[in-house]
Structure 1
């Protein structure tokens, strides 16, 4: 046991999880690679939980941070903040939401917490519809709407939460249906649920569930939901903390796979836009954003230094078409992983889009989740020089793969080869 690990255990909560039997300390990174304190080099296929979105030590971002730090680091939202206004203008334009207003926070949890505040105040209701197997953060309000028991440590809640079918395509009572029949069944479930509730404020949903194991419904489900929600006056919150900024390749936002009935009422974002800086936020049309009748500020949300980083990061992403790279390289990677999976009886499913890919493991010949196998593959991949994540609503049996969006074809092939060896070694 390393000295740093012993010190960690002495001062940290027991529930603050660390990966690996022998946890590693990452000391520096460059591009798609990181190094640990022992000098080992790893190909990074998880990006600090989908947060190092473009690259480690991206020169454009580090330069922007250094220049802004030399001017002023902090001011709060009590003063005009040019980088924050510039970033808000760009996000409002990209969001697809008409007459959009943007509020910056420091995390996805805080962004979703703010979205819940807006929706419940606007609708004057504390009822929230959420998806089964979902994850929305670690605050008191967001754990209370999280549909994944492993990440919801208390049943006490300021909200009344009702859970809807549809987030997981290949498990549950509708798994055997066609995509069209699946959508009809989920819509019927939503209609029935609304018939037994008073006045829900909003439905919050991840277009692709992150912690839940990169699961998603067929394209169009949330468009069909939107028709029902609109009839009842219920808002739609799209949690884009993991799916935003082009990671899915086909779309800039995850909601755009369900865009027949327009954008969501509220959109939340975080993680990748700061490329490691603490940035989150909420976008909503003015009518919704301005519904609060009390003062509010953010001490750290939208700080000059995090906004400078985000502006540089967003500019790099757009100028280098990283969404297109996610589509092209992600498409090659998922096909390569499906070929790898075909040789492994432990793999139940390879799913995802762009550079957001999940490999679900199950005990061979069954649909029973196999978290021990997932943990073994995580260890074997690390030993082979590859960092990946894990998740899933069924006992953490999904390998989560989400590299920086600058991933090259050669790096995708290298990572897939290491995963093939890890699956074999763990199998």
Structure 2
């Protein structure tokens, strides 16, 4: 997973830096030319002819994860002679805009917000993907993903990494000791919550504090519930403001989420009552599960890296997760998630070659072998995904029954998705009336 600019998508990766993907197998001659005719480089034949060039990539992925990223394309660079100059920044969102406005745009950027991608595309700053990149993306990704980087009929780039947000974390040991089964429906989930509460265990623990981004985990709850009570088309209408933010269907979804989040019988295990949710950090939100102080914590796949280092994340381990179950079976298997998109600000041949390669199955599998990686690329071989929660995420993304929708707040204008939506969810958790909170968000939507 990437260390994204958005705080709710950040995590720490450890223990995986010693891996490699045969990165130096091809090697380079002393004069800088690549040994493109070596057997190891045969897979990169279609990208040849660009030796001695350089491509810059800018993203929010940094630290240990950036090291893995650079390893993931090392063999490609060695075989093709294209030097990739990567820079990761914690100020990616703001600085990308500054660089673009100043005429210093990177060749390629990994953008995790479709709304930001759309803004650059509509401003004429992005270069539409080449025919080769488009064909590669269409071959390897479901249409649900490609629509987020298609603006005004132009396709701008394939996804790179992904995450699944529709997860509920739990302790397999606690479930076994209590005789509980993993719920497969909303009714089962509520029945389990009632049973835990009756046994003196707060069923849920929740944390939505995240510095300047406090409130975002609550927005994920609303998005997941809305996807389970309405059609994907209604969700799309909501995120694009084709229906008002305070539509009755949205009100109903928020109220349903409130049957858990604003229920003192259910929350907040290990921390206090309902109001403690707003002051509990998202990083610490689920940790009481390990002390048997709560049973369930709804959070994304990237939360795997928030558990203590000694915790084993596995179906028979200390902690694991199950798919957030459906509410209305007629709505299929909706999945909320996120990821970043590989877009270009230049159309030089070497830039197009790198962009096409990053959309390939070869890249997805090479990156997966390094560990800690989830991708919606349909060519990704599950045998290359060793982390159990990453494997479960990939299985869900590759399931033909899955109906994927991107994090709604990332799709909305920043003033709403990263502004009033977060803020009003904090007020709502603290007791504000549902309709009043949604009315306030609706009134903030840019005209």
Using the size of structure 2 for normalisation, the TM-score is: 0.28
Structure with greater proportional helix content: 2
Using the size of structure 1 for normalisation, the TM-score is: 0.29
Larger radius of gyration: 2
